[in-house]
Amino acid sequence: MKHVEDGSLVAGLRELVRGRVIGPEDESWDAERAAWHLLADQRPVAVVHVADADDIGVAVRFAGQHGVGVSAQPTGHGATPATDGAILLRMGALTGLSVDLAAGTARVEAGARWRDLNQALNGSGMSSLPGSNGDTTVVGYTLGGGLGWFGRKYGQAANLVRSFEIVDADGEPRRVTAESDADLFWALRGGGGDFAIVVAMELALVPAPEIFGGRTMWPIQHAKELLRTFAEVTTTVPDELTLWIWLLNFPDVPFVPEAMRGQWAVALDAVFLGPEDEARKLLAPFEAVAAPLMSGTAMIPLREIGLIAQEPEEPVPGLLKTVLLSDFDAAAIDALLDAAVPGEPSPLFAFEVRHLGGAFARADVSQGAAGTIDPPYLLLAGGFVAAPEMGAAVETALAGLHDKMKPWIRERMVLNFATDEELASLFPSGAVERLAAIKHRVDPHNTIRSNHPVG
């Protein structure tokens, strides 16, 4: 650690890479080390804005020679303390995207965000498998599996990767496919960022010629009936329809529309791969519950898919907890309402239940480490910690929710939504041992670090 203390590590990096290098001595250090996830307070040894893939190779070799780790962190949406002490690589220069509609593929570089890929494919009738937020990188999301809007029809995003362009733990560029290195290819498709720095990847596209979607909101007093309708409808809907329901306790912050600040509401987010009349028939039971406060559903272009859930794209001080549920029956709904106490003041701003199932749960021998996800529902809850003293109240409320929902909480979780879970719960059974063995083979000195280490 001598290099860290005397600053020679930063100076040495500056001599070797073409991109900008920032170290603890620099005035902008706090802004540079910050992640999108503002509560992360991460402590890297240097931040490198790589200029190109060669810079990545140089930084990885340098890290190996100096006994420090190196970690790709394009946005910090998934930041954890696991990358403390490492060189953080920012990928903002690597935003290349190219689409080959005839081949049904897209090549996506490591700094490209979902909003960029959705825009590039807009109007083409083809799509990849985007999630709720346009600001996450396609590569970071996909390395962790990728639970997106079209996943009930097509599964996790990781399973559609055809090849990876990587810099390996020796700093050497390589192309990884099922044929070149079946184990590493399997690990990269859902095992996270522990195995290599990914420069770009090639994804297979899926057909999405017609997309209906949007958000409908109701007054909070209809919460119980709407949650019950959601539970009932999701037992029979086709894989083309994806529904996420929210109890929202809108905070008094600028990104919330003024009329909703400080109010509770129920929101139903829907995406249907098909025509409007079919979608409206499937959603009719919700309309029958009560007149909505606001109805924002329509045929939409792909580029708007990342806006449906109305998540913040700017960095936020949020504390989130996610679990997978074995069921969402009447008793689970009562337990959720008991914990959330909608309408009352709460340190939590959102309780979201996503319907999974469909292709998420269907096994296929070609799948990567993300595997299948059997539990049919995902529950996510979160609160803002605008000042440090608010943290304890948010944590207590999240723990209270966890206790109330315990009978339905499955041991299995997913990597992309992980915080401090046991590693074994983040993957299908047997996968952790295989991932650890692959990590040991491809990176025996643990030079490459990820937010959720497998080795």
Ligand X SMILES: Cc1cc2nc3c(=O)[nH]c(=O)nc-3n(C[C@H](O)[C@H](O)[C@H](O)COP(=O)(O)OP(=O)(O)OC[C@H]3O[C@@H](n4cnc5c(N)ncnc54)[C@H](O)[C@@H]3O)c2cc1C
**Closest chain position to ligand X (CB):** 140
Q: Minimal distance in Å, beta carbon 7 to ligand X?
A: 25
Q: Minimal distance in Å, beta carbon 196 to ligand X?
A: 6
Residues that bind ligand X (CB under 6 A): 71-79, 91, 110, 131-133, 136-137, 139-141, 143-148, 192-193, 197-198, 311, 416, 450-451
Identify the bridge partners of residue 107 per DSSP, sorted by sequence position. Answer: 98, 202
3-state percent breakdown (helix, strand, coil) of the chain, nearest 5:
35, 25, 40
Q: Minimal distance in Å, beta carbon 318 to ligand X?
A: 8
Cα gap 153→150, rounded to integer Å: 6
Tokens of 368: 């990567």
Smaller CB separation from ligand X, 107 or 228: 107
What length is written for the chain?
455
Q: Minimal distance in Å, beta carbon 215 to ligand X?
A: 15
Q: Minimal distance in Å, beta carbon 183 to ligand X?
A: 17
Cα gap 305→296, rounded to integer Å: 13
Q: Minimal distance in Å, beta carbon 19 to ligand X?
A: 14
Report whether 112 contacts 96 (CB < 8 A): yes
Q: Minimal distance in Å, beta carbon 82 to ligand X?
A: 8
Smaller CB separation from ligand X, 191 or 292: 191
Smaller CB separation from ligand X, 126 or 316: 316
Smaller CB separation from ligand X, 233 or 309: 309
Cα gap 310→305, rounded to integer Å: 10
Cα gap 75→94, rounded to integer Å: 13
With 0-12 / 13-18 / 19 or more C-beta atoms within 10 angstroms meaning exposed / middle / buried, residue 408 is buried
Report whether 314 contacts 301 (CB < 8 A): no
Smaller CB separation from ligand X, 302 or 335: 302
Smaller CB separation from ligand X, 133 or 249: 133
Q: Minimal distance in Å, beta carbon 138 to ligand X?
A: 8
Query: Which among 319, 307, 324, 397 has a CA at the least distance from the CA of 360?
Result: 324
Q: Minimal distance in Å, beta carbon 102 to ligand X?
A: 27
Smaller CB separation from ligand X, 25 or 420: 420
Query: Which among 166, 119, 111 has a CA at the least distance from the CA of 140?
Result: 111
Smaller CB separation from ligand X, 149 or 292: 149
Tokens 């701003």 map to which residue? 349
100 residue type, one letter: D
Collapsing DSSP states into helix, strand and coil, what is residue 78?
A: coil
Q: Minimal distance in Å, beta carbon 8 to ligand X?
A: 26
Smaller CB separation from ligand X, 23 or 453: 453
Smaller CB separation from ligand X, 127 or 450: 450
CA 348, 353, 359, 365 dihedral sign is positive
Cα gap 292→276, rounded to integer Å: 18
CB atoms within 10 A of CB 165: 18
CB atoms within 10 A of CB 291: 9
Query: Which among 136, 135, 137, 131 has a CA at the least distance from the CA of 149?
Result: 131
Smaller CB separation from ligand X, 194 or 240: 194
Q: Minimal distance in Å, beta carbon 288 to ligand X?
A: 28
Which strand (E) or helix (H) includes residue 278?
Answer: helix 276-289
Identify the bridge partners of residue 206 per DSSP, sorted by sequence position. Answer: 127
Cα gap 90→6, rounded to integer Å: 23
